[in-house]
A = this chain, B = another copy of it.
Amino acid sequence: MTAPEPNQPMSPVEFVDERSGGKMVRRQGVTAPLGFRAAGIAAGIKASGRPDLALVFNEGPEYDAAGVFTANQVKAAPVLWSQQVLTGRRLRAVILNSGGANACTGPGGFQDTHATAEAVAAALSNWGTETGAGEIAVCSTGLIGDRLPMDTVLSGVTEIVHEMGGGIEGGTDAAYAIMTTDTIPKQVALHHPGGWNVGGMAKGAGMLAPSLATMLIVVTTDAKVTAGQLDTALRRATARTFDRLDVDGAMSTNDTVLLLSSGASAIEVSQDELDDAVFAVCDDLAAQLQNDAEGVTKRVDITVTGARTEADAVVVARSLARDSLVKTALFGSDPNWGRVIAAIGVTPVIIDPDAIAVSFNGAMVCENGTGVPGAREVDLSGDRIHVVANLNLGDAEATIRTTDLSHAYVEENSAYSS
């Protein structure tokens, strides 16, 4: 089974945004589907004064939702809260903050999350939409271990609900407000020919599946679907997109991917149609996360072919994506295929060392486990590298998106909390 190719008309409309230093930024995200509003503000949680609070609001008429969360045994308070909320399979809104992860903060931290959800529900109710805290998901990202400044958060909640009242735009503001070390906001919209839409936003810059420097993703759709359909589509999509993005092997305490449906298009869609569209949006966001990963100088796609099973292919590709010696060689544009072979040899997948073939950017460097002439001369100086390792044991394959291991990665991650 191979992943479906993105085959939907995406909306990559971009504009030059001075907020990103004049970089091109996508125009459409979570508010592209009908029935969604969003906002992003600088509430004062970040010392820098940058935007740090975002709200995504579902106007309905439906409120079905699904979510997947970090597999880390250490889960932040907002993850514990949102997991509990999602058992109801319904969400009215998602409140997201950067500037603090609210992880490893004990019972007090969980009370803070609960209080935030209550404040959002109260503000939305005051605004005219009767809402309970049990319909509000909470996401946080930032440094682990510190309590959030709750006075600031709670006054921000009141402000952001009023801000959102101004219009159905605001998706881009929300995408800015969840950034930490990201250099640009990540958004995408898919306008299905059948008349329904899917939109999404993402943040995350040093990460795994999903992971540290937390990955937060909100995807919205106006298709008329059941919560069960959403759950199936989201799990299928994340398994082949965010779960196959692995920059540094770390996994955050806060990673969250949410999918909300408003049903506002009134168009019923099949599971296959929904699966394809949600996959396309998640795949695009995953590529954006890879492109903007912390300290990246090269985007590296690692494909393992010829595996006995897809699970084996994922294990081997992920091991290569995490191997410091492979990643530093690629940073140095060094076609050091021996490190690839050595890294394959230490996975739990049983291999035949004499059967492996490796190529870099389409140039064969190793066949039958030994080097081919000219292998050391392959030019890897560009900013994209595709490594293909063929185990020659079967027909299964998988690809992991990763990056090189650069000076900038060390720099950025050696000066984070202090």
Contact = CB atoms under 8 A, between A and B. Distances in A.
Interface string A212-223: 100000000000
B407 A206 contact: no
Interface string A67-105: 000011111000000000000000000000000010111
Interface string A365-391: 010111100011000000000000000
Contacts of A145: 337-338, 341, 366, 370-371, 375
B74 A345 contact: yes
Contact of A105 (B206, B335, B370): B370
B249 A338 contact: no
Contacts of A415: 332, 334
A329 to B, nearest CB: 7
A6 to B, nearest CB: 30
A250 B343 contact: yes
B410 A331 contact: yes
Contacts of A410: 328, 331, 405-407, 409-410
* Protomer copies: 2
Contacts of A144: 336, 338-339, 341-342
B250 A323 contact: yes
A343 B345 CA distance: 24
A192 B212 CA distance: 50
B74 A353 contact: yes
Instruction: Select the residue from A71, A101, A252, A413 with max chain B CB neighbours within 10 A.
Output: A413
Contact of A73 (B206, B328, B333, B351): B351
Contacts of A273: none
A106 interface: yes
A418 B73 contact: no
A342 B417 contact: no
Contact of A103 (B328, B338, B414): B338
Contacts of A418: 332-336, 376
A103 to B, nearest CB: 7
Contacts of A324: 248-250, 324, 405, 409, 413
Secondary structure call for the A interface: loop
B413 A329 contact: yes
A239 interface: no
A264 interface: no
A106 B325 CA distance: 23
B73 A353 contact: yes
A267 interface: no
Nearest to A323: B250
A338 B369 contact: no
Nearest to A350: B73
A346 interface: yes
A266 interface: no
Given A75-B353, A249-B323, A324-B324, A368 B143 contact: no
B329 A416 contact: yes
24 contacts: A72-B342, A75-B353, A143-B338, A144-B339, A145-B337, A146-B371, A212-B325, A212-B339, A249-B323, A250-B343, A253-B338, A253-B341, A324-B409, A328-B410, A328-B413, A331-B414, A332-B413, A332-B414, A332-B415, A334-B418, A336-B417, A407-B410, A407-B411, A410-B410
Interface of A: 71-75, 101, 103-106, 109, 143-146, 206, 212, 248-253, 322-325, 328-329, 331-339, 341-346, 350-351, 353-354, 366, 368-371, 375-376, 405-407, 409-411, 413-418
- Top 6 closest pairs, chain A to chain B, by CB: A144-B338, A332-B414, A74-B345, A328-B413, A72-B345, A73-B345
